[in-house]
Structure 1
Amino acid sequence: MVQNGMESLSGVAFRKGHGTGNDFVLLRDAEGALALDASTVAVVCDRRRGVGGDGLIRAIKSAQLPDGRAVLDRDPSAEWFMDYRNADGSISQMCGNGVRVFVEFLLDEGLASLEDGGTLAIGTRAGVKYVQRVPNGYAVDMGPWSLAEPEQAATAGVDALVKAHELDVARPALSINTGNEHTVVALAHRAELDELELFRAPVVDPAPVNGSNVEFALPHEPLVVDGVAEISMRVYERGVGETLSCGTGACAAAAATRYWAGPEAPDSWRVQVPGGTLGVRFFTAEDGLEHVELSGPAVLVASGVLG
């Protein structure tokens, strides 16, 4: 028998889905019976040796995990927990595209129901996320966003430098937290964005303690049309590499560009990524904090059984 690194998951059914090209392998494991170590996840997500994906998402009952039980203390309706792993097997707090695909998976598998305009509470390592069914897919309240270094950002507008292949010099950047850590670089020209070679990780200085995703954002000209601002973005995700899309990264790129644009910048944004278009909206929630909402499609494309 040929050993493929997936022996512990042999015979397990899977689904494959994506949100604007950010693709995931999804497993149903309500009671937490599956053994998901980092090496197994990495093989499943390998595009040559496995199914292939930017990450793996396990649908598990929140009550089966310590992180999930903490979520239930906050909102008992968050029955399902999105157990998300990066393509290298490392555990991640949250994925904005992934949570939309996760909800589509739950609905298609008959594990949850959601009417048009209705909202479903989902447990994640970044807390409870509320997902609403909308005409173009799903909209997710991603929760509050924040500047990682607010004092330095207020003084200089940036708090880091980023080096990347095909950029002539290190570029100033702003660190943003949207449930995951992000470092956002503003580019001035389309050629800079198109010619970036992101086959290796950009270097962030100072290096974030837990690492970060790095987004390269290009404001459109004009930036705002009919009250909606628009940017284009490419991203290098830690533990994955360059992906066609990153939901939390789109939120971070919009938040950073909005911060740089000043108090007159709008609350509604469109973010063009290689895999499609995402909507980002900033609003004041009931907790008095400014939240960010991410909207976009979610598609299931395949199903099978792991060998």
Structure 2
Amino acid sequence: MADVAFTKGHGTGNDFVVVSDPDGDLDLTDDQVAALCDRRFGIGADGLLRVVRSARIPEGEAVLSEDGAAEWFMDYRNADGSKAEMCGNGVRVFARFLLDSGLTELAEDAELAVGTRAGVKRVTRSDDGFRVDIGPWRTTAAEPTVRARGLSVARPGLGIDVGNPHIVVALASEQELEGLDLTVLPIVEPLPEHGANIEFVVPEDPLVSGGVGHVRMRVFERGVGETLSCGTGVAATALAVREWAGTGAPDRWRVDVPGGTLGVTMEQREDGEHVLLSGPAALVYTGTVALAD
């Protein structure tokens, strides 16, 4: 068994094993990733971030053709080892690792281009940590219903794609949100081909204060289960609630998750409306772990 250095990090409780592999020497299997993320027999995490140069990973070719400045690629894997397109909390933790380890620099007024399977994501500094431009978004054509333990009947969901797939479900009360049992996989009909993250949301009272919308959310992440936070899920939640709220709904939102609070802003750009996510990112500890064959 080989020893691998790692760093444990999190963004509002959404935690990751970060492995630095600049030259792409590691070829982690799904089972190895799952073992590292196991909370009883491994380090424990919602996912794994491999820090690799875009030029040293096959998916990096498309990233570099989009933006040659995207030197670093976030190879994100879910806790079960499966590959995922993007992770909003993960990008902020990834940026924190690059900066703290001296692999890159980020001036106050500059941006950092990070390669992902959902394209290049741009990170800037913010008052609460980092802000990530997740990019353009879209609603999906499907009209799914979602069943979850704790809900008496299936609820309609709104499909939102922010580079990875989400289904947002509105609940009637705080009691419904608290009563959900998300140790059990919600049932989605029809189920998207590649699955989806499922967000359950209730509005705060008032919904809008000082021009900022405010909601609470819990999430079941595909390939993981319930997590304390999901950055792209927070973005999808704000977009869905703004859609439901109708004309006059704000473009700035606060979303409370079990692990803290994240900010979402919608901005019009030449290529359409972008959604931006802001929040903290922390590195907790470093160590070395034996990687099973």
Give the TM-score of the pair, scaled to structure 2: 0.98
Task: Work out the CA distance in 2 between the residues paired with 1:11 and 1:117.
Answer: 38
| 1:120-269 equivalences in 2 (<5 Å) | 120-149=112-141, 159-269=143-253
Partner of 2:73: 81
1:300 to 2:292 alignment: no
Deviations 1:163-197 (A, max 9, x none): 00010100111011011100110011000001110
Alignment partner of 1:277 is 2:261? yes
The aligned residue for residue 38 of structure 2 is 46
Counterpart for residue 290 of structure 1: 273
Question: How many Å apart are 1:285 and its aligned residue?
Answer: 1.5
Residue 30 of structure 1 deviates from its aligned partner by 0.7
Number of aligned residues: 290
Structure 2 residue runs of 5 or longer lacking an equivalent are none
**Structure 1: distance between partners of 2:273 and 2:247:** 14
1:117–1:134 contact (8 Å) kept in structure 2: no
What CA distance in whole angstroms lies between the structure 1 residues aligned with 2:18 and 2:258? Answer: 22
- Larger % of strand: which? 2
Q: Is the 8 A contact 1:213 1:249 kept in 2?
A: yes
Matching of residue 63 in structure 1 with residue 50 in structure 2? no
**Distance (whole Å) between structure 1 residues aligned to residue 25 and residue 144 of structure 2:** 43
Match of 2:88 among 96, 121, 131: 96
Amino acid at match of 1:51: I
After TM superposition, the structure 1 = structure 2 runs for residues 112-123 of structure 1, keeping only pairs within 5 Å, are 112-123=104-115
TM-score, scaled to structure 1: 0.93
Distance 2:235 2:188 in 1: 19
Kindly, what percent of the aligned residue pairs are identical? Answer: 58
Structure 2 residue matching 1:11: 3-state secondary structure: strand
Query: Which residue of the other structure, out of 87, 101, 115, is the alignment partner of 1:109?
Result: 101
Separation (CA, whole Å) in 1 of partners of 2:269 and 2:118: 17
SS of 1:113's equivalent in the other structure is coil
Distance (Å, rounded) in 2 between the aligned partners of 1:66 and 1:47? 30
Segment drifting more, 271-280 vs 66-75: 66-75
Name the amino acid aligned to 1:80: W
The alignment yields a C-alpha RMSD, in angstroms, of 0.8
Distance 2:159 2:63 in 1: 26
Q: How far apart are 1:286 and its partner, in Å? A: 3.1
- Measure how far apart 1:123 and its partner are: 0.3
Where 2:236 maps in the other structure, the secondary structure is helix
Residues in 2 aligned to 1:86 and 1:301: alpha-carbon distance in whole angstroms: 19
Q: Deviations over 1:267-286 (max 9, x none)?
A: 00000000000000001113
How many Å apart are 1:116 and its aligned residue? 2.0
Match of 1:156 in 2: none
Please give the alpha-carbon distance, in whole angstroms, between the structure 2 residues aligned to 1:14 and 1:116: 27
Task: Give the secondary-structure state (helix, strand or coil) at the position aligned to 2:45.
Answer: coil
